[in-house]
Amino acid sequence: MIKSLIKKEFLQIFRQKEMIMIIFIVPILQLLILANAITYDVKNIKLCIFDYDRSSLSRQLSTMFGSSKYFTIADTGHFDARYMLDSGMADIALTIPVDFSSNITKQIPADIQLLMDAQNANLAGIAAAYAQGIIKDFADKESSLKKIISFKNSAKSKEINLHTSILYNPELKSQIYMVPAIAVILLFIVTCLLPALGIVREREAGTFEQLVVTPVKKYQLILGKVIPFIVLGLFEMAVVLGIGTITFSVPFRGSVILLLFTALIFIFSTSGLGIFISTVSKTQQQALFTTWFFMVFGILMSGFFTPIENMPQILQKVTYLNPLRYFMRIIRDIFLKGSNFWELQSDILYLALFGILMFTLSWIRFSKTVS
């Protein structure tokens, strides 16, 4: 019975030229346009400081970073710099070596290491400039460093060497950061909007009532509506990511199985939202408007345009209700960092809980609609 419903749904989808355009052509155009068009402003950069010198000079430098309006100091706990970046707990790690103050006192070069998560090329480039500015101000304030402050690759003599290592996106290409996120948006459109419109369209045409009076069970009816869009969503994600990887040289460093697993959880969540929208909408126009409302909210509050850390605290709390927030980070970390399940477990858990909540609400509403 489910096979017949799935076959019927596929036939209805491919009978409509507009639907074929939406599924196959529009996403590719959106990818090519959005990947080149979107830029960012940067503030509240998460910085972790590893001060192995623990001298008055190193503490002064740490204080200057902490008092900057551009940086937010992250607690390092017992973790090392690379773990802080891999886990997303920090965007930048500043390491001050044990011989920092002694080298300055001896008037010999003092090294500082700056590790940056360069998935977001705009953030990495600007953060490096901010860090260099703070170190220059620090040097200007210290009598032993008043002569010169320069950085790696400078031809001048050096008092402090800032060694910057750019991780995950060494060429600082914004497309590498944007392409996986665009795939999330397009997957959301296919798996939330189209199921909602499909169910409401059948209700308007009167065929939904015909299905209700047949021996088809409610769960079979839901699966028959959702499974085709799951298949189409995964296909579209594969096409978009494939084109993005080839066209924009986006690296894939993670697990394909983990990507598919988390994508299915995301589709589970968005399909539940789409079914819920269909149960509260009487016309396709209402379904489209309601889905568009959730879509705009979801995109703007996902970290797609603006880092979530830049938002007011109350809005940051609201983003916990947004499934795009979690899958946006998951797919970027899988692609660019090669993150594993345990590093992403909190995002996966929240995404799964959202999906369970939405499908529970959808089931309750759908049961009332069928009755």
Using an 8 Å Cβ cutoff, are 263 and 269 in contact? no
What is the CB neighbour count within 10 angstroms for residue 216? 16
**Rounded Cα–Cα distance for residues 18 and 252 (Å):** 32
**Rounded Cα–Cα distance for residues 107 and 109 (Å):** 7
Q: pLDDT of 24-39, one tens digit each?
A: 676 676 566 555 445 4
Report the length, in residues, of the chain.
371
**Rounded Cα–Cα distance for residues 222 and 220 (Å):** 5
Q: pLDDT of 102-148, one tens digit each?
A: 887 777 777 888 888 877 777 777 888 888 888 878 877 765 454 43
- Domains annotated on the chain, with CATH: 2-37+173-370 (no CATH), 45-167 (3.40.1710.10)
**Rounded Cα–Cα distance for residues 25 and 101 (Å):** 60
pTM for the model: 0.64
**Rounded Cα–Cα distance for residues 87 and 110 (Å):** 29
Predicted local distance difference test score (pLDDT) of residue 266: 94
Q: Give the residue from 275, 323, 317 showing the smallest Cα distance to 298.
A: 323
Q: pLDDT of 249-303, one tens digit each?
A: 888 889 999 999 999 999 989 988 988 888 888 778 778 878 887 887 888 788 8
**Rounded Cα–Cα distance for residues 229 and 225 (Å):** 8
